[in-house]
Amino acid sequence: MSGYAVLRREAQANQDLYDALYARVKEAGISAASKSSNITIADRARALDSPTWPRLSLMLPIAFLVSWVGGAAAGLLRDSVDRSVRSANDVPNMHSNQALVLVPDFNPKQSVSFGRDRTRLGLPRKSQDHGLNKFMLGRLDSPEAESLQSLSSTIMLAHRQSRLKAFLVTSPLPQEGKTTLSYNLAIALAANGKTCFLNADLRKAGSQIEPGDQEYAGITDYCKEKATLKEIETQSGDHPELIVVHCGKRRENATQVLMSNRFQDLVTELRARYEFLIIDSPPILPFADACFLGAVSDGAIVVAKSATTDRGSLENALEKLYLLAVPVLGVALNGVSAKELPYRRYHASVGVK
């Protein structure tokens, strides 16, 4: 009987535990049911017709403003860092009576031709390559040749109006295409009268004009009384009306040679013998030679190289000529990128025809 009583008590305890747990489950169910009954469906979810983000009407103006401000800041930064002359707008202190010639960065294989015969300038049909890029011979109708024609027109106008004959061609610094442009300019002028190219750049080794290693008698030989004027005049093979006077064989002191009375007499003789006298001089900023050559010239043409010549250097060169009272007839900006040429589309359209 004692064992039965123990089992009965355990059964009763288990029954009580079950009843308590069941009552708690019921209470939890009732509580959950009472809370869920407060939720009602107001509107069913659906796919939107347009995205809520990004908002194009807001983002596009912001993107435009940011890009405009960023581009302006980048341009100002480049302008403050890169002081080189790249276009006509970068050339300082230009006056209305001065010519500005943009000579494109030319490639002989891609040069545009307008179809005219090169004998229009009285040039021979065949010429030898003397080392210089003589685009006035092989590419007479190219954009770079047309630019030189514009510059030669300025010189001819000054020649007819004021009887100017001697023209100095210089540059602020070396390696800016001064000799190439000056010699091609002499070729262009030779079609309009007897022209002399005076290679007065005594600082440069080699004549840069004629082929081979031969040294020609020239300025220094004449000034040292080692040669006569007739002996230093060399007929150019590029045009029958073009004579070249080279630097010479002896170059002890360039400044003394150019300051000598003998050199003054040489220029006077060349003025009397030729219609046009093109004087190729050393760069004006590092050397004083251009100052002495400017004194015997009627006007000057300054050559600068696009993306190479510093604006300050070009301005100093022009200012130096102004102080020496040498009239600046124009500035030739050499090696200009095609995108900087305002007439590039016109050249292209003419070349297609």
| pLDDT tens-place string over residues 196-246 | 999 999 987 555 576 555 778 999 999 999 999 999 999 999 999 999 999
**Burial of 296 per CB tally in 10 Å (0-12, 13-18, 19+):** buried
Give a three-class secondary structure readout of 146-194.
Answer: HHHHHHHHHHHHHHHHHCCCEEEEECCCCCCCHHHHHHHHHHHHHCCCC
Spell out the domain ranges in the chain: 85-352
Fold of 85-352: Rossmann fold (3.40.50)
Q: What is the pLDDT of residues 130-184, one digit of tens each?
A: 467 888 887 777 888 888 998 999 899 988 888 899 999 999 999 999 999 999 9
The CA dihedral of 10, 16, 21, 27, to the nearest 10 degrees, is 180
CA 153 – CA 235 distance, rounded (Å): 24
Contact 105, 95 (CB under 8 A): no
| Residues in a beta bridge with 84 | 310
Quote the DSSP letter at residue 121.
G
Kindly report whether the global pTM for this prediction surpasses the value 0.75: no
| DSSP class of 338 | G
Residue 243 and residue 198 in contact, taking contact as beta carbons nearer than 8 Å? no
**pLDDT tens figures, 299-346:** 999 999 998 999 899 999 999 999 999 999 999 999 888 776 665 545
Distance (Å, whole) CA 9 – CA 2: 11
Q: Which of 80, 91, 260 is nearest to 172 (CA)?
A: 91
Three-state DSSP at 332 gives strand
Q: Which residues fall within 8 angstroms of residue 213, CB to CB, at 6 or more apart?
A: none
